[in-house]
Amino acid sequence: MSVLKLDKVSYKYNQNTPAVLEDISLEFENGHIYAIVGRSGAGKTTLLSILSSLAAPTTGHIYLNDEDVAKIDKYKFRSRYVGVIFQNFNLLPHLTALENVVLSMNISGKKFEEKEKTLAMALLEKVGLSGEEANRRVLQLSGGQQQRVAIARALSYDPDIILADEPTGNLDVETQQEIIGIFRMLAEEGKCVIIVTHSPDVAKTADFVYELKKSEEKIQAV
Amino acid sequence: MYIFKNAIKSITRNKLRNILLGIIVMVIAVSACVALSIRQAAAVAKEDAAENMTITAQISFDRSKAMEEMAAPEGEEPGQASQESEGSEGNVPDRGRFDFDILQGSSLTLEEYLRYAEAQQEGDSYYYSGAFSLDATGELLPYGTEEEESETEDQTDETGQDLFAGGMEGGRMEMPGDMPGGMGGKRFQVNQGDFSITGYSSYNAMVDMFGSDGGYTITDGEMFEEDSEEYACVISNELAMYNDLAVGDELVLCNPECEEETYTFTVCGIYENESASSQENNRFAINDPANNIYISYPAAAAIIAASEEAANTTTDSSGEETSAALKNTLAFTYTFVNEEHYETFAEKVYDLGLDEDYTVSSMDIEAFESSMTPLETLSKTALWFFVIVLIVGGIILVTLNIFNLRERKYEVGVLTAIGMKKAKVAVQFIFELFLVTFAAIIIGGGAGAAVSVPVTNSLLESQIEDAEQEQSQLNENFGFEHGGKGSGGEAAGGEIPGGRGGAVPGQGRGQDRFSGQSAASQYVSSVTTATNAVVILQLAGVGLLLTVISGLAALISIMRYEPLKILSSRT
């Protein structure tokens, strides 16, 4: 059963411009990694924005476990059901890595069995950050470390779906492999991981690859 | 809860931004605190002074109104008629129009005054005094006169012509009707007497003299019983020394119109009058304070009653009856606990039958209002200053906040992108503002409270100086003497004991020649506390207002931001 389903989704930035996405119907299931690839301008990031409810489709519907996402509060959807890893990490610079993760847990409003700080620390360790690094402000961390913080934040409220926009874009090969490893681990834990990427190496690690093509080109499952 | 924790983290980790904001708010708070404190000090000082002030009022006959009515022919307006009649008579005024029986016999009786006192309210009271004059008998001489003069006086009295040339002290002044300016052929007799006898209804009536500011002190013996009909009196130490009188001695005085009508007083006390020695020598003995004799009102009333019973009445050629009985001049004073009671009395007294030709007036209220002038001027200036500070401060804060928000746009984008509602983001930002604003207001308010008293007093001093300079200039231009008690001699202007205000109005002795106000001594010249709970509450209100104004800018901006746009533009 699909955890996330797109039904003839189209998107236009405004009425007078051509559609960036047109009649896209896709299904995503738990326990798999999905890669969305395509040329620049094909609408990959736009699709990710729609999937994360940062933008609403012009036409069509998105279903989360068969429930229309339009009927779910967009803030609740973002803070509980999907974890988003942004291309530029989008961490709060005045907070430490740990505080960024804890804040995300707080925003979700979920009740946790253990203290948020303990859970957040465990998550940061899980993605490969030490205790010392966890207590540093994010600007004092490297790109790879910031990406790990972003992943930990996305996982902090235990969502079923992880959305990642170019998660390895600015990282060296070794770090890329480590990040991909984390995604694989998450998929094995039963999460649905959707990665928007340019990188063929990342695409290769995915269970399913959807390629977005411009205008007349149609989306293809590779 | 996490919103507030996050707000505190944001404040502590963006120190420079918040310090700048705090400094601006602090400057506003100090200015607002000083301005509000000045206003509060003025209000409290006014309230205190009003509480400490006893309002006294008198009922008096409106003579000018009565004269205007007499001057006006029937059916015409008084003012208009006066002009017309002057025109018709040429340069000779028609004095015959005025009925002096009405104009002079218009004083109220004690019974009437007491009836009008029913218009007073709880806490109000009244007192009264009766005054008349008596002559010396035997060896007794009024202070400042000699035996020879007294004899000369008698001769002059008989001739009735050499009145202004000599021996007027304590004498009888007659003004023949054919003298220039004589009143319609009537013959006025002015019998000054040697001593002024004043009977007081209560000790309260004597507070102006024997009170803390009066200058009168009993140095030997004691004050008479206020409700006693015995002829016990207190006399001045000058009179006592002049006549070798001591407490317990008897004093025989007579009716100036009838030497046989005598009254024997017992000296129960001798007083010293500090102010008397500084006064100029008086030409008439009766006008010298040393010749003032004080008794109880019941004793005075008994003397008047006895005199009326004993006195002969003579009828002159024109049929005018003249009585030799002593004439009592009644002075009745109503006292009120506050201005409201006074105002009510002034209206209600007419319902009790007081004629419209009489007016109720109080010098204390006018004196009180003029004493508040510098403080109230300062208070008004402070209000304007406060409004300007608030407007300018508000504009600066809103501008600063808009810049701050533009800087924090990314933070808004991230927080909303990870699911924080815009309203919660706004609450966090407003809470941050609130914390910074209130911390700054507490510090600024403290500093403002510390400087408000010296600043208020300094500004007040400057206001008083201006007022005094204006008054001095006026006096100088008119050629009056100044620099004495009226405009600077008592410039210290004491504070109300234990209070925040200034001198109690209505008790200063330095009456200015303009507007009847005494200058320096009556101004509220200093305050001891300015910032109180009211000012603190007002400051909190200012803080809240500033937070709301600048927070509103934050709220509008945040509500307009869309996370996707913010994060895309950053990308």
Contacts of B570 in chain A (CB under 8 A): 88
| Per-residue burial over B386-410, b = 16 or more CB atoms within 10 Å of its CB, e = otherwise | beebbeebbebbbebbeebbeebbb
Instruction: State which residue of chain B sits closest to A108, comparing Cα positions.
Output: B419
Query: In the structure, what pLDDT confidence band is assigned to residue A201 with cuts at 50, 70 and 90?
Result: confident
Cα(B553)–Cα(B199) distance, integer angstroms: 75
- Would you call A75 and B416 a contact, using CB atoms and an 8 Å cutoff? yes
DSSP H or E segment with residue B379: helix B373-407
What does the radius of gyration of chain B's CA atoms come to, in whole angstroms? 36
- Residue range B395-417: mean pLDDT, rounded: 87
Cα(A122)–Cα(B146) distance, integer angstroms: 117
Question: Could you tell me the two tokens for B86?
Answer: 């002057």
Q: How do residues B528-542 score in pLDDT, each as one tens digit?
A: 666 778 888 888 888
Contacts of B558 in chain A (CB under 8 A): none
- According to the model, what pLDDT value does residue B45 have? 78
- Residue range B16-31: mean pLDDT, rounded: 90
- According to the model, what pLDDT value does residue A215 have? 55
SS3 label, residue B492: coil
Helices A143-155 + A116-126 axis angle, to 10: 130
- According to the model, what pLDDT value does residue B529 have? 62
SS3 label, residue B507: coil
Query: In the structure, what pLDDT confidence band is assigned to residue B287 with cuts at 50, 70 and 90?
Result: confident
- Would you call B567 and A95 a contact, using CB atoms and an 8 Å cutoff? no
Cα(B524)–Cα(A214) distance, integer angstroms: 86
Residues from B in contact with A at Cβ < 8 Å: 2, 6, 9-10, 13-14, 411, 413-421, 563-564, 567, 570-571
Q: Which of B2, B417, B571 sits opposite A103 (nearest CB)?
A: B2
Helices B409-417 + B563-570 axis angle, to 10: 120
Q: How do residues B367-396 score in pLDDT, each as one tens digit?
A: 887 777 877 888 898 899 999 988 998 888
Query: In the structure, what pLDDT confidence band is assigned to residue B440 with cuts at 50, 70 and 90?
Result: very high
- Would you call B419 and A55 a contact, using CB atoms and an 8 Å cutoff? no
Contacts of B418 in chain A (CB under 8 A): 78-79, 84, 90, 104, 107, 153
Contacts of B14 in chain A (CB under 8 A): 94
Side chain identity at A201, as an amino acid letter?
D
- According to the model, what pLDDT value does residue B509 have? 36
| Per-residue burial over B155-165, b = 16 or more CB atoms within 10 Å of its CB, e = otherwise | ebbeeeeebee
Mean pLDDT of chain B: 76
The full length of chain A comes to 222
DSSP H or E segment with residue B448: helix B422-478
What percent of chain B is helix, strand and coil (3-state, nearest 5)?
55, 15, 30
- According to the model, what pLDDT value does residue B76 have? 56
Contact of A92 with chain B, judged by CB distance below 8 Å, is answered with yes
- Would you call B417 and A49 a contact, using CB atoms and an 8 Å cutoff? no
β pairing state of B125-136 and B195-200: antiparallel
Q: How do residues B256-269 score in pLDDT, each as one tens digit?
A: 888 888 999 999 99
Stretch among A1-5, B174-178, B223-227 having the lowest mean pLDDT:
B174-178
| Of the candidates B160, B164, B171, the residue with the CA atom closest to the CA atom of residue B193 | B171
- Would you call B416 and A153 a contact, using CB atoms and an 8 Å cutoff? no
Cα(B301)–Cα(B316) distance, integer angstroms: 28
Cα(B439)–Cα(A57) distance, integer angstroms: 46
SS3 label, residue B24: helix
Kindly state the DSSP code that residue B487 receives in the 8-state scheme.
I
Stretch among A45-49, B71-75, B469-473, B496-500 having the lowest mean pLDDT:
B496-500
Contacts of B2 in chain A (CB under 8 A): 103, 106-107
- According to the model, what pLDDT value does residue B156 have? 41
- According to the model, what pLDDT value does residue B281 have? 55
Query: Residue B173 pairs with which residues in a beta bridge?
Result: B190
- Would you call B9 and A94 a contact, using CB atoms and an 8 Å cutoff? yes
- According to the model, what pLDDT value does residue B344 have? 92
- Would you call B564 and A55 a contact, using CB atoms and an 8 Å cutoff? yes
* Cβ under 8 Å to B: A residues 168-187: none
- According to the model, what pLDDT value does residue B171 have? 45
- Would you call A107 and B567 a contact, using CB atoms and an 8 Å cutoff? no
Output the CA torsion sign for B354, B356, B362, B363.
negative
Query: Phi, psi at residue B2, to the nearest 5°?
Result: -65, -25
- Would you call A92 and B416 a contact, using CB atoms and an 8 Å cutoff? no
Contact of A77 with chain B, judged by CB distance below 8 Å, is answered with yes
- According to the model, what pLDDT value does residue B491 have? 29
| Per-residue burial over A195-205, b = 16 or more CB atoms within 10 Å of its CB, e = otherwise | bbbebeebbeb
Contacts of B409 in chain A (CB under 8 A): none
Q: How do residues B96-136 score in pLDDT, each as one tens digit?
A: 666 766 666 557 888 999 999 999 998 899 999 999 999 98
SS3 label, residue B133: strand
Q: How distant is the Cα of B412 from the closest Cα of chain A, in angstroms?
A: 10
- Would you call B421 and A75 a contact, using CB atoms and an 8 Å cutoff? yes
Cα B153 to Cα B164, B174, B239, B287, distances in angstroms: 11, 13, 20, 16
Are B323 and B115 spatial neighbours (Cβ–Cβ below 8 Å)? no
Phi and psi based region of residue B515 (left: phi greater than 0; alpha: psi -120 to 50; beta: remaining): left
Instruction: State which residue of chain A sits closest to B416, comparing Cα positions.
Output: A75
Angle in degrees, CA B19, B20, B26, rounded to 5: 80
SS3 label, residue B192: coil
SS3 label, residue B196: strand
Q: Which of A87, A103, A108 sits opposite B6 (nearest CB)?
A: A103
Q: Which of B412, B418, B425, B567 to mutate to test the interface with A (most CBs of A within 10 A)?
A: B418
- Would you call B414 and A91 a contact, using CB atoms and an 8 Å cutoff? yes
Cα A126 to Cα A116, A130, A173, distances in angstroms: 15, 9, 20
- According to the model, what pLDDT value does residue B126 have? 92
Helix/strand/coil (H/E/C) assignment for every residue in chain A? CEEEEEEEEEECCCCCCCCCEEEEEEEEECCCEEEEEECCCCCHHHHHHHHCCCCCCCEEEEEECCEEHHHCCHHHHHHHHEEEECCCCCCCCCCEHHHHHHHHHHHHCCCCCCCHHHHHHHHHHHCCCCHHHHCCEHHHCCHHHHHHHHHHHHHCCCCCEEEEECCCCCCCHHHHHHHHHHHHHHHHCCCEEEEECCCHHHHHHCCEEEEECCCCCCCEEC
- Residue range B201-205: mean pLDDT, rounded: 85
Query: In the structure, what pLDDT confidence band is assigned to residue A84 with cuts at 50, 70 and 90?
Result: very high
- Would you call B570 and A78 a contact, using CB atoms and an 8 Å cutoff? no
Q: How distant is the Cα of B435 from the closest Cα of chain A, in angstroms?
A: 18
Q: Which domains occur in chain A, in start order?
A: 2-221 (3.40.50.300)
- Residue range B343-348: mean pLDDT, rounded: 92
Query: Residue B334 pairs with which residues in a beta bridge?
Result: B57, B126
Cα(B564)–Cα(B555) distance, integer angstroms: 18
- According to the model, what pLDDT value does residue B345 have? 93
Query: In the structure, what pLDDT confidence band is assigned to residue A137 with cuts at 50, 70 and 90?
Result: very high
- Residue range B513-522: mean pLDDT, rounded: 42
Instruction: State which residue of chain A sits closest to B567, comparing Cα positions.
Output: A90
- Would you call A107 and B14 a contact, using CB atoms and an 8 Å cutoff? no
Cα(B375)–Cα(B524) distance, integer angstroms: 7
pLDDT at B483 over 70: no
Q: How do residues A87-103 score in pLDDT, each as one tens digit?
A: 888 999 989 999 999 99
Phi and psi based region of residue A8 (left: phi greater than 0; alpha: psi -120 to 50; beta: remaining): left
Helices B78-88 + B63-71 axis angle, to 10: 60
Question: Could you tell me the two tokens for B529?
Answer: 């506390």
Angle in degrees, CA A204, A210, A214, rounded to 5: 125
Angle in degrees, CA B223, B225, B229, rounded to 5: 130
Cα(B503)–Cα(B364) distance, integer angstroms: 13
pLDDT at B496 over 50: no
Query: In the structure, what pLDDT confidence band is assigned to residue B81 with cuts at 50, 70 and 90?
Result: very low
| Percent of all residues in chain B with a pLDDT value above 90, rounded to a whole number | 19
Are A164 and A196 spatial neighbours (Cβ–Cβ below 8 Å)? yes
